Structure 1
Amino acid sequence: MAFVAGATLVWLMVSVILSVAMRNAGIQPFAWLFTSAEYGILYMTMLGAPWLVREKGHVHIELVTAALPDGARAVVSRTVAFACVVVSAILAWKGAELMLTNIERADYDVRAYYYPRWLLTVTFPLCFGMMAFEFSRFVFGEKLMHSGEAGIHE
């Protein structure tokens, strides 16, 4: 999923360059070019999110956890990770309901072309479910989500 998200980022770059070049040449860009970039932003965000959770690449603030002793930091970190599991699981559940509703109603996104809406909303249960799984690794695994080191570490 992270590879597809990365490839989508490349497509976004290409589609923007093509669109701008066509406009500068006085040519109307293809309608599907803009639409595919919109879809790409959703796919890139959703498909890349579980990988970011696994690699602890998502944004979180270590200011409070850095000030805590190790035991308290572990409790706070696992509690935050558990809350993330709950929220991700709820969003996966509601996303599945939305996707099934889109399938049941045969909903289409109609702009440049007819695109089955469930192909967009399928990312919600899939990706939020994977994020719930990845966050649960920080609840039950030996590694904590928070390192306890405030500041930028790269």
Structure 2
Amino acid sequence: MRHLIRIYDGLLSLMALIAAMTLVWLMVSVVISVMMRNFGIQPFAWLFTSSEYGLLYMTMLGAPWLVREKGHVHIELVTAALPPALRRIVSRLVAGLCVAVSLILAWYGLELFLTNIERNDFDVRAYFYPRWLLTITFPVAFSFMAVEFARFVFGSELMHSGEAGIHE
């Protein structure tokens, strides 16, 4: 079991690393595109397309890690006003709802992915890009998010700290 957890943690970290590298690529591609325009050169079509794809990959692959680190956006105004026992219940209920939504989105993402493979769909812009390479991120990322939210449902740590405001 420990070996399986280590593999899972490694995959989650790899996904976060790919998301981080994609963010760097987005910065580089925007700078290159702007510089080319300033010099009167038409930017490469693939530069814009790769930035679009990068936004999807960065978002989907980075989201599970953000859930683990509690880096996602949530408002603690209500949970801060609750007594600790009720806060635990509300936090676990919210995390449980997040698990349910993540699993539903993973299921529909899997259906979309399988449909793209079955139809042999391509995204045709600057180049032919198999659409399944884009939609594979949905079932993977939402499944990982479901696992991470489930840790807040069944684990000792709560998703909500009960402290309203910004704490960094």
Deviations 1:62-85 (A, max 9, x none): 111011111100000000000000
Between the aligned partners of 2:38 and 2:165, the Cα distance in structure 1 is 43
What stretches of structure 1 move > 2 A for 4+ residues in a row?
none
Equivalence for 1:150? 164
Deviation, structure 1 residue 138: 0.2
Instruction: List alignment gaps of at least 5 residues for structure 2.
Output: 1-14
Q: Does 1:39 align with 2:53?
A: yes
Equivalence for 1:73? 87
Letter in 2 for 1:26: G
Given candidates 119, 123, 134, the residue that maps to 1:109 is 123
User: Share of identical aligned residues, percent?
Assistant: 77
Between the aligned partners of 1:67 and 1:73, the Cα distance in structure 2 is 9
Between the aligned partners of 1:32 and 1:64, the Cα distance in structure 2 is 46
Between the aligned partners of 1:121 and 1:149, the Cα distance in structure 2 is 37
Deviation, structure 1 residue 33: 0.2
Between the aligned partners of 2:84 and 2:122, the Cα distance in structure 1 is 51
Letter in 2 for 1:104: E
Q: Does 1:5 align with 2:34?
A: no
Equivalence for 1:87? 101
Equivalence for 2:110? 96
Any idea what SS the aligned residue of 1:145 has? coil
Equivalence for 2:137? 123
Q: Does 1:61 align with 2:92?
A: no
CA-based RMSD: 0.3
Task: Provide the aligned length of Structure 1 versus Structure 2.
Answer: 154
Deviation, structure 1 residue 34: 0.1
Deviations 1:114-136 (A, max 9, x none): 00000000000000000000000
What TM-score do the two structures reach when normalised by structure 1? 1.00
Instruction: List alignment gaps of at least 5 residues for structure 1.
Output: none
